[in-house]
Structures are given as C-alpha cells and as structure tokens.
Structure 1
Amino acid sequence: MPYAPPETPGRAARHRRAARHRRAVVATATLLPALLAACAGGASADDPTTAAAVTAELPTEIPAGTTLVVGDPTTQKAVEIAGDDLDSDLGFTIEWANLSGGPQTTEAFRAGALDVGAVADIPPIHAEWTGLDVKIVAAVYRENWQKNPIYEFGVAPGVDGVETLEDFKGHRVAYSPGQAQGVIVLRALKEAGLTQDDVTLVELPSNGDVYTTALAAGEVDIAPIGGVQIARYLDKYGSDGAHTVRHGLRDDPSHLYVPTSVTTDPAKAAALRAYVRLWAQAKLWVHDHPEEWKAGYYVADQGLSPADADYLVERAGTPDIPEDWTEHIAAHQKTVELLAEATGNDVLDAADLWDERFAPVLAQAAADYREKEAG
C-alpha cells in the first residue's frame, strides 16, 4: 500500500513522546538496516512446545511491563490523528518503529529488534524461504477491489498496441522480484497465458518514482505503478501517448506478520491480540474520516498536495476484514506456487503461515467499532 516510505539508513535512535489521553506510553523507534545484524532467532515450528503454543487459546492477560515493537507507520499516524475516537490505551507499551516494507521488516525480525510488521502478502513467503519462522496475524482487503486496484500497468509513450495483458508479449516489463509489484507482473503474465520467455523482464527497484521515470525515459515499455504515481504519470505524459492497462486481478492484501516467537510468548501474544484489534479499528476509522485523514496524513505528514490526497482517498475502497480466512489462504497458496515456480524455491503450505486464532479477534473488533459508531 502506498503509505510511509522506508527509513533512510543512518544511526538508530528512539524518540519518546508523552502519552496522550490516558494512553500507554508510546515510543517512536527508528530501526535501521545497518544495525540489524543477521542473528536468526525465534521459535521453530518443528518444536513440539511451539506447535502446542500456536494452537492454544490466545492469552488475554497482559503482564505489567509488556512492550511490543511495531513497524506500522500508517496505523501509528491513524491512532495519533483519531485521538479519542480510538481506544489506544491497551495496557502495554507500543514502541513504534519507523520501518516499512518486507526487506527491512524481515531483517529487523532476524535481529530480534521488531515484533510486528505491516506488509502485503509476499514478505511472509520470502521470510520462510530464508529460514525465518513467521505468522500472519491480521488481514484486511478491499470490498470493491475490482474498481479500486492498488496497481495499474503504465505503458510508455510511443508504445502502441498495448491495451490488454495479452499485448504484453514481446515488450520490456519492469520487474521487482520479491515485492508486490513483481508478483502482479507474474500474475498478469499467467492470466494472459504468457510466460517470462514471452517478455523481457527488466529488474528495477519499485520504490518512489523509479518505474514512472523508467517509462518516460523509454527504459521499459510497461511497468506496474500504484497510488498517486498513476495520476501523476498520466497527467505528465498522457498527451504523449502514455496510458495504463488495468489487470483485473486481486492485488489488495494488507497484513500484519510477526516472528512465530511472538505468538508463543504469552505476554507478547496477549499484547498482540490487543494490537490487532486496534489495527482493525484504525483501518475502519480512516475509511470513515476521509477529510481528517487527507489533512493529517497525506498532506501534513506525507507532504502531498490536496489533489493527490483526494485521488488516493477516492481510490482507497472500503475495508473488508473477514472473519474466515479460508478463501484468502487458498489465494495465498496460489501466490506461493507462482513464486516458487519463478524462483526455484520449494512450495510452502500457505496455511502454515497464518495464525487463524486472530481472525475472530479482528472480526469482533470491527463489529465493536461499527456498533460504537452507530451509537
């Protein structure tokens, strides 16, 4: 999701701020890749003690002094902007880490420096392939995902005849392995009955405006672009023939994932249970308060123009917080298989990545929020 950018490497620092409106003390932590030594840790799924812990009923008692380090900048901002609209007095301390994206989050997990990360559906798969045992503990989607996709395929000026996915054949396509933008390329090719041999995949990082710049410069013919980059690209280059192609595929998963060791630690698991409730309600609050979100997050925090903020809110869709994850685990399995084929990794059982004990917690949180809002 096109929210806070990754932290610029530098010296790690933690910035404390006072608790507001009876909330627990919240610290802002800046965790940087240079300090995250690769020290593999966490519980193993093959350990009988671990296996029992991840299937036991979730604990609810949070001992005094419990802390969760959370890399979820968007929810952090939503909690700040919402104020008393959200009950964030959870009974433990949250240290907010200014981290986003799979690579940074997984690296922080390995260092034992992070408890919770906010990502799409790809990083948990790659974490398992690199030997890090993780669990998905929260999921939100878009009810109207067909109308409001995360990504569209930008087509470079001067590239004619590309109106459908089948037309990608013979063209240069920007590709970022291991990221959501890379997976949507693989999904699009599969949907069109094409293989990687039918196109030229050009590996480029998908951060910032790299893809739109590459399109404008003629370095690639097609690239998946998202968020406000779509509007900016068409505004700037549409008169030169640039356009976009919609893929018609689901690209809307948004997850929280954690090292499995977090779910097997009774204190942290209880705190995590409380945090995913806040996370779900924050998603609904953002949807219900677009003007506050545009002004407080997109404009004041992210530095976007009011027009860009309007564009993003209009395309955000309605949050869907399902109680039953069966359908989404099955879709995740297809993603695992697609990635395994593309990378040569073993096929994982996607169900092993999901801690389904949290699904009813999220659904109840959503129901409680809506009941409160209804008066």
Structure 2
Amino acid sequence: MISPIHIRILASVTTGACATIAIMLMCASPANAQSGHAPIADTVPAGTTLTIGDPKTQRALELSGEVKNLPFTPRWVNISGGPRTTEAFRANALDIGAVADIPPIHATWTGLPVQIIAAAFRKAPLEHPIYKLGIAPGANIESIADLKDRKIAFSPGQAQGALVLRILQSAGLTKDDVTLVEMPSTGDVYVSALASKLVDAAPIAEANQPRYLANYGSSGARVISHGLRDDAWHLYTLQAVLDDPAKAAAARAYVKAWAKATRWIYEHPKEWVEGYYVQDQGLKTSDGEYLAQSAGEPDIPADWTDVIARQQATIDLLATETGNQRLDAAKLFDRRFEKVAIQALNEQ
C-alpha cells in the first residue's frame, strides 16, 4: 500500500531523477524505517557503485562466488584499521569501512559524521580473545594487577587503545598510574616495541602472538590474558553515503552480503585458511588453522540494545580518560540496518 507521503512525492515528480527516488521509496521495506530517517530502498538503481575497505569480506565473497551477486559495482580498496579508514573518509575516497568499536567514536570526536550499519562479535570471546597483553622480556608482569608504573603501548584512535584503558579500569588503575607511550598499532610496531623494551606491555593480536613467543620467548617474553571482551567488529559509513538514496540501498545490500560472507568463513574453514590466510596473507597453513579455530562462531545480533549499551560504556570511559565530550552512543548507530544482517542469514 502506498502511503500519503509517497502519493505526494509521486505527484511532484517532474524529472527522471525524482522518479527514480520515488520508485526507490515505494520499493523500500517498512521494516527499514527509522524515526527521523527515510526508508531505505530494497532495490539498488543500476550503475550504483560503492568504494569499500573491507579486505576480509572481499576475499570471502570472491572465494564463495557471492561477489558476482552484488547488485552494485564494488570498488575494493586495501584499507583497514581506524586511522587509515578515517583518512580515506575525509578524502571522500571510501564509502564503507570495516573496523572495531573505537574508530566510529574517534571519527565523531574529530568532527566526521559517521554511522555504524552492522555489528558482529565472537560467541566465545573470553576463551578466544582477539588480543592478549604482550609482556616485554624481563618486565616481570604476571597479571594486569602488575601494570602500575609500567610503560604501555597506546594508540588512542584504535581498538587497542580503548582496550588498554579497559584493562587499566579492570585493574583499578587509571592512565595516571602508568606511562602511555603513543604509537600506531599497525604491522609489527607493538611487537618491535616490546622486543626492544621500549614498552613493558602492549596488546598484540592473535596473529602476532605465536611469532612473538617463538622469536622472543627464550628471552623471557610472554603473553597474558586480560579477561575482557575485545571482539566487537563493525561496518561504518559516512552520513553523506546514507543521505544518497542509491548508495544507502547499496549499503543495505552490502550488509546482507557481509553477513553471508561472515557465516561462510565459519562454515568453510579449509577453503578460508587456504584462500585467505595462506594465499592472501602469506601465512603457514598451521598458523591459518590456529586463527580460524580461534575466531570460532560469529555472533551477529538481531537487536542492538546491548551493543549500544556496551558502546556507551566505552564512550564514557574514553571521555573520562581522554577529556573528550561524552557522546550518545545511540546516535552512532543507524538502526534501519539493525535487522538487515540477521534477516539475510535467515533467508539462506
């Protein structure tokens, strides 16, 4: 049934462009509506493109063959991590990025209007965390309770930085109780800082942990668990992308594809290890198998209430520790996308 607002829009159509917008609104699913926002169309207009920085999903879509079913033209860019993604957004060189929970917060604090359009976690995050605290040789840190007065690697605009603050909070400490050494967390920077004893502790990703221990374990290097959830993963985009009806429809289609790719990775571990970790990332098969097993089953929530509450807790901690203004976490999420991913999985 066409609503009165759609009738008024159709009555005012005078150009081909307006007609396209009107048809898109008529095709939109009512479930996509969010208070204060127009519905998002189910149909993507021909010729629509999206520039996407999500290498992992890109590879999964290629391996599964689903990339050919995207109803828009993807322009893939090899961009990952919060700082590079934000930089690309500012240069209008990117439409969608895949990051952890901190980059959208940091982007908003720097005046960049962004929105989160998808969220995923691990079903067993505490048993298989993404990060552990790497401990420098000779640092004599047995648990997070021993971090007082130590030097810790810190990247304020990335997930690792927020994790450090959460770890300190869990240990009853603040940033004033330690020395935070700012440095980017990309590549092997943290591992090198630990090995050279530039810092005493640094959160290092699971992909780097076996190599760190193999190379420096004999000198006393080790890793310790922090006992916190660190598994948030989001898709986010510029508000300007969502203000464009065609690109918003394409973004909705990409969220659906992302959800299916995330599930495919879990259900096809052999193909994923060989096609991504070995061929694409250059890892040994055994290392790829370790990472695939560690990742476990993905959890894509159909309700973002808890996701937003967790994000709010993170914002409050960061605001207190960094002096930034408190944000309303709910305003970072475009809830028109809330059920898109899970509905795509249910349709399979």
Normalising by structure 2, we get a TM-score of: 0.87
Distance 1:308 1:356 in 2: 37
- Residue by residue over 1:199-247, the C-alpha shift from the partner in whole angstroms, topping out at 9 and shown as x without a partner, is 1111222111111122122211111101221111112222332221111
**Corresponding residue for residue 83 of structure 2:** 103
Q: Quote the offset at 1:283 in angstroms.
A: 0.5
2:202 alignment partner AA: A
CA distance in 2, matches of 1:363, 1:100: 24
Of 122, 126, 138, the residue aligned with 1:142 is 122
Q: Partner of 1:256 in structure 2?
A: 235
Q: Which residue of 2 aligns with 1:304?
A: 283
Spell out the pairing of 1:194-273 with structure 2 (5 A cutoff): 194-273=173-252
Q: CA RMSD in A?
A: 1.6
Counterpart of 2:40 (choices 58, 69, 80) is 58
Kindly provide the CA deviation profile for residues 316-342 of structure 1, in whole angstroms up to 9, marking residues without a partner as x: 121000000100101101111111122
1:322 to 2:301 alignment: yes
Cα deviations by residue, 1:296-321 (Å, 9 ceiling, x for unpaired): 11111111111221221121121000
Which deviations, in whole Å up to 9, do the C-alpha atoms of 1:28-82 show, x marking residues without a partner?
Answer: xxxxxxxxxxxxxxxxxxxxxxx98863322112111111111111111111111
Contact 2:34 2:336 in 1 (8 A): no
1:144, 1:314 → 2: CA distance? 11
Is residue 74 of structure 1 aligned with residue 56 of structure 2? yes
Question: Within 5 A, what are the aligned runs for 1:1-375?
Answer: 55-83=37-65, 86=66, 88-160=68-140, 162-369=141-348
Residue type matched to 1:93 in 2? T
Q: 1:91 to 1:228 in 2, by over 3 A?
A: closer
Residue type of the alignment partner of 2:57: T
Matched positions, count = 316
Gaps of 5+ in 1: 1-50, 370-375
Contact 1:53 1:264 in 2 (8 A): no
| Partner SS for 1:225 | strand
Amino acid at match of 2:234: H
The alpha carbon displacement at 1:343 in A equals 2.0
Q: Structure 1 runs of 4+ off > 6 angstroms?
A: none
| Matched-pair identity in % | 57
Q: Secondary structure at the match of 1:315?
A: helix
Superposition TM-score, scaled by structure 1 size = 0.81
Alpha-carbon distance in structure 1 between the residues aligned to 2:87 and 2:168? 30
Distance 1:350 1:287 in 2: 29
C-alpha separation in 1, matches of 2:53 and 2:243: 19
Q: Summarize the Cα distance change of 1:54–1:111 in structure 2 as closer, same or farther, 3 Å threshold.
A: farther
In structure 1, the partner of 2:17 is none
Preserved contact between residue 174 and residue 321 of structure 2 (Cα < 8 Å): no
CA distance in 1, matches of 2:116, 2:68: 22
* Residue of structure 2 equivalent to 1:31: none
Distance in 2 of aligned mates of 1:204 and 1:104: 14
Q: Is 2:34–2:335's contact at 8 Å kept on the other side of the alignment? A: no
Deviations 1:149-171 (Å, cap 9, x if unpaired)?
010001112122x2221111121
Consecutive unaligned residues of structure 2, counting only runs of 5 or more, are 1-32
